[in-house]
Amino acid sequence: MYVVDPATEETIAELDQAGVEETDEAVARAREALPAWRAVAPEERGRLLRRVAGLVEEHAEELARIESRNVGKPISGARAEIGMVARVFYFYAGAVDKHGGSEIPVSGGIDVTFREPLGVVGLIVPWNFPLNIASWKLGPSLACGNTVVLKPAELTPLSALRLEELIREAGVPDGVVNVLVGKGSVAGQRLVEHPDVAKIGFTGSTEVGRGVMEAAAGTIKRVTLELGGKSANLVFADADLERAAAAAPYAVFDNAGQDCCARSRILVERSVYERFLGLLVDATARLKVGDPRDEATEMGPLISAGQRERVAGFVDGDVRVAYRGDVPNGRGYWYPATLVECTNDDRCAREEIFGPVAAVIPFEDEADAVRIANDTPYGLSGSVWTRDVARAVRVARALETGVISVNSNTSVRVQTPFGGFKQSGFGRELGLQALDGYSELKNVYISTDA
């Protein structure tokens, strides 16, 4: 298989693809390594994870350049993502000995609970944030004492392969982490169906997630699904409109819109709609699109020609385009930052585009804003912009979504849980809550009767 630079369309690597046999071998290695890894003392497991974090920091520039070239993301964004990878491993290194059970009062004895590792865990990660999302799953998996088979997306495997080398260099025993390069329809499917894999942690589209859930049912496999989104950015008339408009493009066009928690529906109170749209167009026009290696670049290309064709299909036709930016000439899978005006019934507001296209939609009042925001099968992220604290709380509680920010468009922090409602999936990643998804709760009763 060939790995391509999306900004130049040049082949940057050629790798062998794992099939069913290679997947089975990786699972067997992980299963063989499990007894010794789960027996490692908590303080030693934490030390090894801290060593992984330190090596990620030491090799941060190398990893960022691998990620930037493989995904086509701006180098500044890639550096920030690698910084988060290190923080994730540091966080779960510190969490190893803090994820305990409890003592429950009972008559005739004592009752305690324990957190046990699940076993071999299969982790399937997407191409938009390859190493970052891999770390979200690896950190809690390893902290809980599981062994892992990690399958990166076939388009973007390079950073995961380098991380595997650093994990071995850190002293993590062979077989604990196994990176598998192959197609989702072959290696990924085998992981999901394999009887020796206790859990699948999957990030990807809702359509593929549905298939993962169905295939996992055959072995009653535990599943965490972080799927698609069509998040709403609600801007009320009393908000700081200049600040909200300046922030909105980066909530959609970061990573060229290839982000499941992108605020790709921008809902604006009608009384300030025209003013806000003007501010939004001006802010979007300032976005620097270009060579990912340029320190000033803020948006790079899409991941593939197929993805570019898919994104264009949402804009070509009768859609009213309020703004369309410029892109570099020549090779590369470029698509311009685009703002469209529509209703929430239009296709561009209903489906996840996964590209740099934002739908701008007016609303009448608070109730209408909540109704429109919730009128979607997704529920991953979202924002509320208002100076009214009471309204911010009311709306945040009313929105059917897993991660909400007020007067901000951020979704992800290492120490806080991340995950969705409805068809955006279930289970939580990051924070201490992620540890619950990579461990099993065991209850033990001990009689004290003579």
- On whether the CB atoms of residues 187 and 404 are closer than 8 A, the answer is no
Please tell me which residue in 67, 81, 164, 260 is annotated as part of the active site: 260
How far is it, in rounded angstroms, from Cα 262 to Cα 23?
33
Judge whether 260 counts as a catalytic residue. Answer: yes
Q: Give the separation between CA 125 and CA 208, rounded to whole angstroms.
A: 12
Which member of 226, 298, 352, 429 is catalytic? Answer: 226
What number of residues does the chain have? 450
Residue 144 annotated to the active site: no
User: Would you name the residues annotated as active-site residues?
Assistant: 226, 260
